[in-house]
Chains A and B, each alone.
Chain A
Amino acid sequence: MRIYRRKVINGVMLFISFLTALYGLFWLFWILGTLFVNGFRYLTLDLFLQDPTPPGIEGGGLRHAFVGHIIITSLATLIGIPIGVCAGIYYAEYGRNSKFFMALKNITDIMVSTPSIIMGAVMYALMVVPFKQFNALSGILALALLMVPVISVTTYEMLDLVPHTLREAAYALGAYKWQIIKDVTLRAAKFGILTGILLGVARISGETAPLLFTSFNNAYLSFDLFKPMATLTVTVFNYIMGPYDYWHKQAWAAALFLTLLVLVLSLLAKALLYFGTLNPFKWKEKR
């Protein structure tokens, strides 16, 4: 009788855990489904190529926001990548046996989850107040700093996977450490590091909070880094809060585009991670 009861409890609990997995999928499909239903119809060529009309007049597009978004995220990426990768390399290659630098690595890991709006506040104090106006550059720097911890932690983890024997073989040939980093470890971990970069880009391309009071918003196409610049995320935020129906439609379309972009980047990162972690070991086996 007791065994029977235990088996029933077992079945019930395992079924509940199956249900929790379904619960997670349920929300994912609800959100993605809504985005497709509401956004796909309005994902027209005009959305990408037209500037916005004056408020209240139907039509127009979000060209200014797409351009601004590309400018801000790509410049932020250009600043964030070298800093993040350099720090990650140091943690993995030089700081591995130093308690101090391992502690710094853990702090970097903590910084990955720091509220992004904090970065906006800091950049507001550093860049917006002195210039006396919102500017795109402050948004770029806020996003760049946001992606640094993501990239450096992933870079460290990927370099950590490279087998030590590879490095030792190079040492035995009399190579300098920088030569080993350049020709052995970075080469072995290149897919993994690319994963980190993609994760960093995915992280910042959906960010809104740090841009609200740094790069702010702009209804016109602008290339000036010292003036406010529109981004997709901030535009979506303003359009959803705004009163016009066609604003909502354009916001849904932009949101769908943004989500697909971020999801594709994340999936790409995951695929690369697969190759990245696979590669060094395969190499080891062949030798």
Chain B
Amino acid sequence: MGKRGHYLEIIIKNFLGFWALFSGFLFPFIIFLILFYESRLAIKNFGIVKFLTTSTWDPVSQTFGGLTMIVGTLISTFIAVLIAAPVAIGIAIFITELAPSWLKGVITSAIELLAAIPSIIYGMWGFLILANFMRSYVEPFLQKIFSPFPLLGKLFSGPPTGIDVFTTSLVLSIMIIPFMASVVKDSFNLVPSVMKESAYSLGATKWEVIKDVVIPYTISGITGGLVLSTGRALGETMAVTFLAGNVAQIPSSLFYPFTTITVALANQFTEADTPLYLSSLFYLSLILFVLSFIILSFAKIMVLRLQKRWK
């Protein structure tokens, strides 16, 4: 047993170690290399700055610039996070501070189910149900309210079609609420109860404890949750493909159709007929990968910082 066990130990350790190295290092690195290699033609032709600032995407004249898609991705993600953030923080407050213990489990599971629904379901529901509802009721209503105001009115101008930036961002926001709420909830649970109790003993109300103790203490966790869901929203494909309208334009108001990096990939990968076209699509994937990797790393660092302090 002695010698055999020893050799087995070495073999097993190295075998497991290889897969650890694979999933933590080789896997992301290979993805980066492949995307970089495949997009070399587009990088050589259009460069970095030019690709990022050109809005022409024309397969006929073989000119490709990613600005329209990148702006579309950033706008829809930004609005989605803007809608989702207060809701997610509210849900986290409700679960950790307000709900009786039997309700806690129910609400937590329900919100988690929202995360489990496949993205294509959000897409078809948004496309067939929500978009109609938005077109007939919500969007005309918003236009009526906001049209007298000069700046806000412009934001809500345009034909209310339901297939636009507004509906896309709303559906995206529903999809990222669970991720945000779960991170924020976990960090709220890390607040030492001594800190909360000392605030209560000074006569603070529950809201004051949340506002002045819990939120300042967990600010890096909350930021982490926000940033994590930003990363999630960036790469969301199917729901956006159904709802964005796939019109290659930078939307001038919330009610215009637009396109994102993921929509362009989903729609055009199978039709790319020239090497330069395909390479430009890989270039877009590379940008998406690098962007979301950086954002998600930032989120991870923020959350780790809070956990470290707790330890």
Contacts and interface: CB of A to CB of B under 8 A. Distances in A.
B207 A115 contact: no
A231 B134 CA distance: 31
Interface stretch (B15-23, B139-147, B191-199, B247-255): B15-23
A209 B270 CA distance: 12
A126 B34 contact: yes
Interface majority SS (helix, strand, loop, mixed), chain A? helix
Given A14-B206, A24-B110, A121-B282, A113 B124 contact: no
Contacts of B109: 267, 270
Interface stretch (A51-59, A83-91, A277-285): A83-91
A202 interface: yes
A34 B124 CA distance: 11
Interface string B10-43: 0011011101111111011011001101100000
Interface string A88-111: 011101110000010111111111
B120 A87 contact: no
B104 to A, nearest CB: 11
- Output the residue of B118, B125, B207 with the most chain A CB within 10 A: B118
Interface in A6-26: 6-7, 9-10, 13-14, 16-21, 23-25
B205 A178 contact: no
Nearest to A237: B120
B88 to A, nearest CB: 8
A258 B207 CA distance: 41
Contacts of B52: none
B285 A117 contact: yes
B265 A117 contact: yes
Interface string A251-264: 11001001100110
A27 B232 CA distance: 19
A1 interface: no
A60 interface: no
B271 to A, nearest CB: 10
Interface stretch (B61-69, B91-99, B149-157, B159-167): B91-99
B100 to A, nearest CB: 12
Given A202-B116, A208-B238, A21 B107 contact: yes
Given A9-B207, A24-B87, A83 B266 contact: no
- Size class of A's contact patch? 35 or more
A122 B34 contact: yes
B87 A20 contact: yes
Interface string B34-63: 110110000000000000000000000000
Contacts of A152: 20, 23
A181 B296 CA distance: 32
A143 to B, nearest CB: 13
A244 to B, nearest CB: 14
Interface in A172-202: 176-179, 181, 202
Interface majority SS (helix, strand, loop, mixed), chain B? helix
Interface residues of B, number: 91
A118 B122 contact: no
Interface string A195-219: 0000000100111110011001000
A178 B91 CA distance: 44
B292 A206 contact: no
Contacts of A117: 235, 237, 262, 265-266, 285, 288
B304 to A, nearest CB: 7
Contacts of A45: none
Given A83-B19, A90-B17, A121-B35, A113 B228 contact: yes
Interface of B: 5-6, 8-9, 12-13, 15-17, 19-25, 27-28, 30-31, 34-35, 37-38, 86-91, 93-95, 97-99, 107, 109-114, 116-125, 127-129, 174, 177-178, 181, 205-208, 210-211, 228, 231-232, 234-238, 242, 262, 265-266, 269-270, 281-282, 285, 288-289, 292-293, 296-297, 300, 304
24 contacts: A10-B205, A14-B93, A14-B206, A17-B94, A24-B178, A28-B110, A28-B113, A31-B122, A86-B15, A87-B24, A106-B300, A108-B24, A110-B293, A113-B231, A114-B28, A115-B237, A115-B292, A118-B235, A208-B237, A216-B270, A236-B120, A237-B238, A259-B117, A262-B117
Q: State the 4 A-B residue pairs at the shortest beta-carbon distance, nearest first.
A: A115-B235, A104-B24, A206-B118, A20-B90
Given A18-B94, A86-B19, 15 more contacts: A17-B91, A31-B122, A34-B125, A35-B121, A87-B19, A95-B17, A104-B23, A113-B296, A206-B119, A207-B118, A240-B128, A252-B124, A255-B124, A262-B117, A263-B113
